[in-house]
């Protein structure tokens, strides 16, 4: 297993994920809530920890890889 440095935490805040995705904070929260409401079928991968939402870095990376592969197939 790859070690995680303080610069690469296991989980991100929704705001951190939004910056990576270059989307707005409100849009990111909307997509995170959609992910939870649809049991992971749609939206930004997120976990609810108490009242907080967190985005697992690996789930975000997988989502981006899948989207990238789909985009490559279209081209």
Q: What confidence tier does 4 reach under pLDDT thresholds 50, 70, 90?
A: low
Tally of helices (H runs) and strands (E runs) in the chain: 3, 3
Residue 49 to residue 54: CA distance in whole angstroms: 7
Asked whether the beta carbons of 53 and 29 are under 8 A apart, the reply is: yes
pLDDT cut 90: percent of the chain above it:
76
Task: Read off the pLDDT band of 5 (50, 70, 90).
Answer: low
- Average pLDDT estimate for 15-19: 98
Judge if pTM exceeds 0.95.
no
Residue pair 65/75 in contact by the 8 Å Cβ criterion:
no
> Average of pLDDT values for 39-59?
97
């Amino acid at each position: 297993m790859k070690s995680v440095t303080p610069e690469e935490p296991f989980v991100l805040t929704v705001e951190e994920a939004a910056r990576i995705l270059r989307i707005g904070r409100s849009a990111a929260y909307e997509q995170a809530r959609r992910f939870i409401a649809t049991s992971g079928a749609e939206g930004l991968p997120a976990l609810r920890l108490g009242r907080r939402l967190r985005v697992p870095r690996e789930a975000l990376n997988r989502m981006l890889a899948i989207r990238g592969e789909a985009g490559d197939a279209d081209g």
